């Protein structure tokens, strides 16, 4: 059966990887810097930090924005659990925003109606790589003076208009480089920033709050004069993980194009083969086709999944709507979310097809 996900790994990594493993320099270093520069070049951004995981990246963003227990954020429950667990960890209240049932993207009218004096940030998830209405969401953030975070856990390489997510107007963008992403670092993540002030704050938070230029005395001892003024994490990407990510960057355009080509084939064949419809992408946007989204007719979701699988394609709903989880508070019914999740099925579209 053709899998829905598959980790990509370039050939011939072993000699250089072995050199790193026995070099005595395993922490963030040469390849960490090269990987970050490659990511910045690909996304056309100036301010970006790699991180040890997506979860660390999200927790860092909450710290960078000064969010604390009891604060309120807006987010879509049509997203990965990994996107929202950091809110629970920090004691942040999530107000769920409905989605357009035809696309799974954030409902702009519902978003506007839920912005209040208590709203501290908007987290805009691009579900399974399908880009939401970035212009409208970012405009609301600017109108109300609320930071917008693009949650690109599944959307590296997706485009909003002519720009990649990460350079499409959000104040902050969070990426995952976990095993089944492109690129993957086995585990890792990154954060892109619109301005230097947030970047500089995040650079300290990523490294326990330490300003490394002041942390050591001339003889290499920890300096008592270097105060730690901000919370921080062990958030640096290791040299091994960074090397693996860096070595994938040259092939990334080819791999993304292969996924786009596969999607074009599904566009022409899907209905005739399976009687289901493609999930539409918002006008002008281009998914990375991490998966290929389809919409089935109710109540045939399970039947459609089995039909795809019997034909040799591992189909899945990928996620369930996070507003059902009690860790986020009492269940809140959202009609668009319910309708979309009853119909959404993903099928393989990756570079391995």
Q: Is residue 2 part of a domain?
A: no
- 101 membership: H or E segment, kind and range: none
pTM for this structure? 0.96
- Tens-place pLDDT, residues 102-111: 999 999 999 9
Query: Minimal CA–CA distance to 155: which of 270, 54, 239?
Result: 54
The answer to whether the beta carbons of residues 189 and 50 sit under 8 Å apart is yes
Give the model's pLDDT for residue 249.
Answer: 98
Give mean pLDDT, residues 144-157.
99
Q: Tell me the two tokens of residue 66.
A: 């000064």
Query: Minimal CA–CA distance to 54: which of 129, 126, 153?
Result: 153
Q: Is residue 1 part of a domain?
A: no
Q: Is residue 102 part of a domain?
A: yes
Share of the chain above pLDDT 70, in %: 100
- Tens-place pLDDT, residues 158-175: 999 999 999 999 999 999
Helix (H, G, I), strand (E, B) or coil at 120: strand
Regarding whether 179 and 216 lie in a shared domain, the answer is yes
Regarding whether 214 and 136 lie in a shared domain, the answer is yes
In the listed set 228, 250, 272, which residue is the last one of a domain according to the structure?
250
pLDDT bin (cut points 50, 70, 90) of residue 271 is: confident
Q: Where are the beta strands (DSSP E) in the chain?
A: 47-51, 72-75, 93-96, 119-125, 148-152, 159-160, 163-164, 172-176, 189-193, 277-278, 292-295, 344-347
Q: Is residue 353 part of a domain?
A: no
- Tens-place pLDDT, residues 24-76: 999 999 999 999 999 999 999 999 999 999 999 999 999 999 999 999 999 99
- 306 membership: H or E segment, kind and range: helix 301-310
Q: Which domain holds residue 179?
A: 14-250
Q: Is residue 352 part of a domain?
A: no
Q: Is residue 118 part of a domain?
A: yes
In the listed set 250, 283, 301, which residue is the last one of a domain according to the structure?
250
In this model, does residue 272 exceed pLDDT 90? no
pLDDT bin (cut points 50, 70, 90) of residue 178 is: very high
Q: Is residue 205 part of a domain?
A: yes
Read off the CATH number of the domain in which 176 is found.
3.40.640.10
Regarding whether 258 and 246 lie in a shared domain, the answer is no
Euclidean distance between CA atoms 41 and 26, whole angstroms: 24
The answer to whether the beta carbons of residues 53 and 30 sit under 8 Å apart is no
Q: What does residue 349 show for φ and ψ, rounded to 5 degrees?
A: -145, 10
- The per-residue DSSP string of 198-231 comes to HHHHHHHHTBTT--HHHHB-TTSPBPTT----S-
Total structural domains within the chain: 2
Give the model's pLDDT for residue 134.
Answer: 98
pLDDT bin (cut points 50, 70, 90) of residue 312 is: very high
Euclidean distance between CA atoms 262 and 193, whole angstroms: 32
Query: Minimal CA–CA distance to 52: which of 221, 139, 178, 167?
Result: 178
Q: Is residue 336 part of a domain?
A: yes
In this model, does residue 289 exceed pLDDT 80? yes
The CA distances from residue 2 to 314, 322, 351, in Å, are: 6, 28, 11
Euclidean distance between CA atoms 332 and 204, whole angstroms: 37
Regarding whether 116 and 25 lie in a shared domain, the answer is yes
The answer to whether the beta carbons of residues 194 and 47 sit under 8 Å apart is yes
Regarding whether 100 and 209 lie in a shared domain, the answer is yes
Read off the CATH number of the domain in which 323 is found.
3.90.1150.10
Q: How many distinct helices (H) and strands (E) make up the chain?
A: 12, 12
In the listed set 250, 279, 312, which residue is the last one of a domain according to the structure?
250
């Amino acid at each position: 059966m053709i899998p829905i996900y598959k980790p990509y790994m370039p050939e011939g990594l072993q000699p250089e990887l072995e050199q790193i493993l026995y070099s005595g320099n395993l922490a963030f270093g040469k390849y960490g810097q090269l990987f970050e520069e490659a990511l910045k070049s690909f996304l056309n951004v100036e301010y970006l930090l790699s991180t040890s995981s997506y979860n660390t990246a999200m927790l860092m963003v909450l710290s960078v924005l000064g969010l604390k227990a009891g604060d309120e954020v807006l987010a879509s429950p049509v997203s990965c659990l990994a996107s929202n667990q950091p809110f629970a960890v920090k004691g942040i209240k999530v107000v769920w925003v409905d989605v357009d049932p035809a696309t799974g993207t954030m409902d702009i009218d519902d978003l506007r109606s839920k912005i209040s004096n208590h709203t501290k940030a908007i987290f805009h998830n691009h579900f399974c790589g399908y880009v939401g209405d970035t212009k409208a969401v970012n405009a609301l953030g600017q109108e109300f003076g609320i930071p917008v975070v693009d949650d690109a856990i599944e959307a590296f390489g997706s485009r909003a208009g002519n720009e990649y997510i990460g350079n499409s107007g959000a104040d902050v963008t969070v990426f995952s480089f976990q095993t089944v992403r492109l690129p993957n670092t086995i585990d890792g993540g990154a954060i892109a920033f619109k301005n230097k002030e947030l970047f500089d704050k995040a650079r300290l938070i990523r490294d326990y709050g330490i300003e490394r230029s002041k942390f050591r005395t001339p003889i290499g001892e920890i300096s008592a004069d270097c105060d730690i003024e901000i919370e921080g994490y062990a958030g640096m990407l290791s040299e091994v993980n960074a090397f693996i990510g860096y070595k994938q960057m040259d092939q990334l355009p080819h791999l993304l194009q292969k996924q786009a080509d596969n999607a074009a084939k599904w566009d022409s064949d899907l209905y005739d083969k399976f009687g289901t419809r493609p999930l539409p992408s918002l006008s002008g946007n281009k998914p990375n086709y991490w998966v290929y989204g389809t919409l089935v007719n109710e109540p045939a979701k399970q039947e459609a999944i089995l039909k795809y699988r019997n034909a040799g394609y591992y189909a899945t709903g990928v996620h369930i709507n996070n507003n059902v989880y009690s860790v986020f508070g009492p269940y809140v019914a959202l009609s668009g979310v319910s309708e979309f999740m009853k119909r959404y099925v993903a099928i393989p579209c990756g570079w391995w097809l």
